[in-house]
Chains A and B, each alone.
Chain A
C-alpha cells in the first residue's frame, strides 16, 4: 500500500520499509525543541531519569521566547533554569535574547531544520517546519524530556487529509487567508490526529513565508502535522540557511487519504476568524462593522519579513486611527534588522505603531499588549480562545498582516482594498521627490 509523505519520513526514521496509519512506532529524532515555559518542566522531568546527559548536544534547541525579555521574577527564574541546563549540558543551540527570535521563525532561519527531518518540540506550533518538507509536531514537556534523553519518541502513524491547492491568490490574499479558509471549512478538530498534506500547482504561487504560516496553523485544525512537498523554492531556502543535508520524500501515487479537498487559491478572499475559535471564519465581505481597540502584527504565524512588508505597504504614508494601539513584533532579530534596513520599522513608527522586540508575549496574553475587559483586537496570531490575549471578556479576531494593518488605519476590521493606494503611491513619490530635492 502506498504511503503519504509523512508516513515515508516516519518509516525512514523508524528503520522500517513500510508503515500504515494507526501503527505505533519509535522514531529517531533529528531535533528536540523547548522554550522558557515548557523546557523547565522537561528539565525537572529529566532529573528523574537514569540517563543524565542529553542524547546529542547539537540536536537540542532551547529558545527562551515566551516571557522574554523576562516579564517578572518567576519568568526570570524559569529562563535561568533553561540557561543553566544549556550551559551544563553544553547545548549548542541555546539562544539568548540578543540572538534569538520566536522559536518557529528562528529554527528554519538558523538552518536547524531541513526537509526529511523528524522534529518534536514542546510547543504546539512546532508543526511550522512542515513548510520545508520535514515531519514536525508539538508535544508536551515529558515527551521533550524523554526525547532529550533518548533521541527517540513514540508516534502513532497518522492518516492524512490531502489539500490540492490550485491557482494564484489575489494581491491582498496570503498564506493566512488560505489556512483560515481551510480551518473554517474543516473545523478546529477537522484534522484531529491526522496529517494535513498540501499539494498542487498552486503551491508555486505561495512564498516560503506563506507556507510557514499555513503549516504553523495545522494544529488549529487539530492536526498532528502539516507538510508541503519540497520544490525549488524550498531547496533554495534551505541552501541559503543551512549546511545540513536534506532528504526529499514524496507521497506515493497510490497513497491513501481520508479526504481530498481542492482549494482554488484564486477564489479566496481576505479571511477573518471571529471569537472564540479559529474555525469561526468569515470573508472580509461578511465581517460587518467591528470596531477595534488594538492591532497586533507578528508572532510565529505572521512575524516574518514578507508579513512585515505587507503590513508596511498598507501603512506607508498613513496614520493609525486615533486611539488605536498598534503593536508590531518582528519574529527574529534578523527579521528585525532586515525590516529596519528596508525602512519598514520607520514606516510603522511614523504611522503611530510601536515596534517590539521578538517575543511570544502578546499572542498568548503573556505580556506586551494585554487586553482589558470588553476590548477587541485584530491579531495576526494563531488563537482567539476565550481570554487568549487578556481578560476573559476581551475578543481576538485573527487575520492576515494586510487586514490587520488596514484595520489599524480605519479603526474597524477592514480590507486593504478599502484604502486608496493611488493616493498613497503619489504621496510616496512626492516625499521621495522632496527628499531628493533636499
Chain B
C-alpha cells in the first residue's frame, strides 16, 4: 500500500476543534464533515486539497476532543496519510480504527515543507520527499495494529476474527 500526494503543512498541537469545530458536529455525514475540515486553522484547505494529498504536522496532532469526526473529516477530504512528530492518543486510536493511515516520524515532520510531493510506502514505513530528494524511516505499527489496518478498521477486524 502506497500514498503519493502534495503536502499541507501545520504546526504543533493541531486540536480536533480546529480540524472540525463543534458547531458542525450536529452532522456525522463524512461528506458534510469534509466540507468543513480544517476550517478554523486553514480556510483555504478544502478548496486546495486533492485526492491523495498528505498532511504533515508537528507534535501532538489531534489533541483535545475524542470526536472521531476529526479523522473521518480528514479521510473524507481526500487525505491519504498524516505524518506528525507525535499524535494525541485518542486521535491515534481513532485513525487506526477507521482506517486513516498515520505515521509518526519526527525528522520528516520537521523537514518536509508545504507543497512538497511525498510518497509513502506503508509496508516499509519509508517516506520519500520527491521534491527535496530526501528519505525518512517512519515508525512501523505493532503487528496487532497492522492487522486492524489490513482489515480496513476495527469493526471489520472484529467481524473477521469472530467468523
- Mark A residues whose CB is within 8 Å of B: 24, 37-38, 40-41, 44-45, 48-51, 66-67, 71-72, 74-75, 78, 121-124, 126, 138-143, 145-146, 149-150, 154, 188-189, 192-193, 219, 222, 224, 277, 364-366, 383, 385-388, 392
Q: Is the CB of A138 within 8 A of B154?
A: no
Q: Is the CB of B64 within 8 A of A142?
A: no
Interface mask (B60-82 → A, CB under 8 Å = 1, otherwise 0):
10011111110110000000000
Q: What are the residues of chain B within 8 A of A121 when measuring CB–CB?
A: 66
Q: Is the CB of B21 within 8 A of A387?
A: yes
A140 to B41, CA, bound (A): 22
* Binding-face segment, B23-31, B46-54, B106-114, B124-132: B23-31
B8 smallest CB distance to A (angstroms) = 17
A66 to B21, CA, bound (A): 13
A385 to B15, CA, bound (A): 7
Q: What are the residues of chain A within 8 A of B144 when measuring CB–CB?
A: 24, 154
Q: Is the CB of A140 within 8 A of B63?
A: no
Q: What are the residues of chain B within 8 A of A138 when measuring CB–CB?
A: 66, 90
A386 to B23, CA, bound (A): 13
In-complex Cβ contact of A72 among B26, B67, B159 (8 A): B26
Residues facing A in B102-139 (CB within 8 A) are: none
Q: Is the CB of A122 within 8 A of B60?
A: no
Q: What are the residues of chain A within 8 A of B63 when measuring CB–CB?
A: 188-189, 222
Whether, in the assembled complex, B3 has its beta carbon less than 8 Å from a beta carbon of chain A, the answer is no
Q: Is the CB of A146 within 8 A of B90?
A: no
Q: What are the residues of chain B within 8 A of A41 when measuring CB–CB?
A: 28, 68-69, 72
Query: A50 and B159 in contact (CB under 8 A), knowing A124-B65, A386-B40?
Result: yes
A157 smallest CB distance to B (angstroms) = 12
- Mark B residues whose CB is within 8 Å of A: 13, 15, 17-18, 21-23, 25-28, 40-41, 59-60, 63-69, 71-72, 86, 88-90, 93-94, 97-98, 142, 144, 153-155, 158-159, 162-163
A336 to B160, CA, bound (A): 47
Q: What are the residues of chain A within 8 A of B21 when measuring CB–CB?
A: 365, 387
Q: What are the residues of chain B within 8 A of A383 when measuring CB–CB?
A: 15, 17, 64-65
Which residue of chain B lies nearest to A191 when distances are taken between CB atoms in the complex?
A: B89
Q: Is the CB of B155 within 8 A of A45?
A: yes
A388 to B21, CA, bound (A): 7
A66 to B23, CA, bound (A): 11
A122 to B17, CA, bound (A): 16
Main secondary structure of the interface of A (DSSP, over half): loop
A388 to B19, CA, bound (A): 11
Q: Is the CB of A145 within 8 A of B60?
A: no
Q: What are the residues of chain A within 8 A of B142 when measuring CB–CB?
A: 24
Q: Is the CB of B158 within 8 A of A150?
A: yes
Which residue of chain A lies nearest to B145 when distances are taken between CB atoms in the complex?
A: A24
In-complex Cβ contact of A145 among B67, B89, B155 (8 A): B155
Q: What are the residues of chain B within 8 A of A44 when measuring CB–CB?
A: 28
Q: Is the CB of A74 within 8 A of B27?
A: yes
Q: Is the CB of B86 within 8 A of A142?
A: no
Known: A142-B68, A189-B13, A193-B89. 9 other contacts (CB 8 A): A38-B66, A49-B159, A66-B22, A78-B28, A122-B66, A138-B90, A142-B155, A222-B60, A385-B64
Q: Is the CB of A140 within 8 A of B68?
A: yes
A146 to B89, CA, bound (A): 18
Q: Is the CB of A365 within 8 A of B26?
A: no
Q: What are the residues of chain A within 8 A of B71 when measuring CB–CB?
A: 140
Q: Is the CB of A49 within 8 A of B158?
A: yes
14 A-B contacts, Cβ less than 8 Å apart? Answer: A49-B159, A66-B25, A139-B66, A140-B66, A140-B98, A146-B158, A149-B158, A189-B88, A192-B89, A222-B60, A222-B88, A364-B17, A366-B23, A386-B41
Q: What are the residues of chain B within 8 A of A189 when measuring CB–CB?
A: 13, 59-60, 63, 86, 88
Q: What are the residues of chain A within 8 A of B159 when measuring CB–CB?
A: 48-50
A407 smallest CB distance to B (angstroms) = 23
A386 to B18, CA, bound (A): 7
B66 smallest CB distance to A (angstroms) = 4
A388 to B13, CA, bound (A): 14
A75 to B24, CA, bound (A): 10
Q: What are the residues of chain B within 8 A of A123 when measuring CB–CB?
A: 65-66
A438 to B69, CA, bound (A): 59
Q: What are the residues of chain A within 8 A of B93 when measuring CB–CB?
A: 139-140, 143
Q: Is the CB of B67 within 8 A of A140?
A: yes
Q: What are the residues of chain B within 8 A of A51 when measuring CB–CB?
A: 158, 162
B36 smallest CB distance to A (angstroms) = 12
A17 to B25, CA, bound (A): 42
Which residue of chain A lies nearest to B32 when distances are taken between CB atoms in the complex?
A: A74
Which residue of chain A lies nearest to B159 when distances are taken between CB atoms in the complex?
A: A50
A141 to B163, CA, bound (A): 23
B86 smallest CB distance to A (angstroms) = 6
Q: Is the CB of A140 within 8 A of B163?
A: no
Q: What are the residues of chain A within 8 A of B162 when measuring CB–CB?
A: 50-51
Query: A75 and B17 in contact (CB under 8 A), knowing A142-B68, A145-B155, A189-B86?
Result: no
A73 to B67, CA, bound (A): 20
Q: Is the CB of B26 within 8 A of A140?
A: no
Which residue of chain B lies nearest to A124 when distances are taken between CB atoms in the complex?
A: B66
Q: What are the residues of chain A within 8 A of B67 when measuring CB–CB?
A: 37-38, 140
Q: Is the CB of B17 within 8 A of A385?
A: yes
A293 smallest CB distance to B (angstroms) = 19
Q: Is the CB of B97 within 8 A of A387?
A: no
